[in-house]
Amino acid sequence: MTRSHSRADNLIQQFDAVLRTLVPHAASPSRPTPATEAVHDEPMSEEERRHAAGLMRINHTGEVCAQALYQGQGMTAKLPEVRGQMEQAAQEEIDHLAWCDARLQELHDRPSLLNPLFYAASFGLGATAGAVGDQVSLGFVAATEEQVGQHLEEHLVKLPPADHRSRAVLRQMAIDEAHHAQLALEAGGSRFPAPVKLGMKLMSKLMTKSVYRV
């Protein structure tokens, strides 16, 4: 009886997490956005606005994937010693998701229509890595976070010079992601071999190319 109850609870919790990730403006951040009232944009052309929105849409989808990865992993991984830390990291990812969402709104644009697809794929990958073992699962987090960090650095350069508010968001995200990668490695995550990282890079290329527009 208790078992079926906890299973039902789990399912409801999972469903709630899916909704909070995929429904726009549903995620509630624990920290205020780094794009505070003190940070102002300079005027942007329509082309610059569209470019900034495309980049922020990619970052938003990246955060959707991070949610799915952590949630998938949470279903299957044991992670007894580091569960608390991973939950803290997952909460910070919710902040990122909400900040990117808010910034997209400021730019009068919308999240990617492909988010459910990328959510499902990332959830599957997270759950698979978690089932293989904690070392692999943590290694997957570390490799993903490193890749996200690279993206963020690129986007900080590519954003229109006038877009200070997106930059403020991405800067704080870069600090957090580096910390997440370090946590996962310190917790015993295995360093992934180059071919696996290359595969992940190709996946993320596919994501960035499609989500920039869609």
93 vs 134 by CB, closer to Fe ion: 93
Q: How far is the CB of 159 from Fe ion (least distance, A)?
A: 17
49 vs 168 by CB, closer to Fe ion: 168
Total binding residues for Fe ion by CB under 5 A? Answer: 6
Across the chain, the runs of DSSP E, i.e. the strands, are none
Residues 6+ apart with CB under 8 A from 49: 107, 108, 109, 160
Q: Which of residues 162-191 bind Fe ion (CB under 5 A)?
A: 177, 180
DSSP state of 28: -
Q: How far is the CB of 89 from Fe ion (least distance, A)?
A: 6
The helix (run of H) or strand (run of E) holding residue 130 is: helix 115-132
Query: How many residues in the chain?
Result: 214
Q: How far is the CB of 107 from Fe ion (least distance, A)?
A: 19
Residue 151 touching Fe ion (CB under 5 A): no
Report the binding-site residues for Fe cation. 63, 93, 96, 145, 177, 180
21 vs 48 by CB, closer to Fe ion: 21
**Contact of 69 with 126, CB cutoff 8 Å:** yes
Query: How far, in whole angstroms, is CA 180 from its chain's centroid?
Result: 11
Residue 96 touching Fe ion (CB under 5 A): yes
Residue 146 touching Fe ion (CB under 5 A): no
The helix (run of H) or strand (run of E) holding residue 75 is: helix 46-76
Tell me the one-letter amino acid at 131.
A
Q: Note the residues at the interface with Fe ion (CB under 5 A).
A: 66, 93, 96, 145, 177, 180
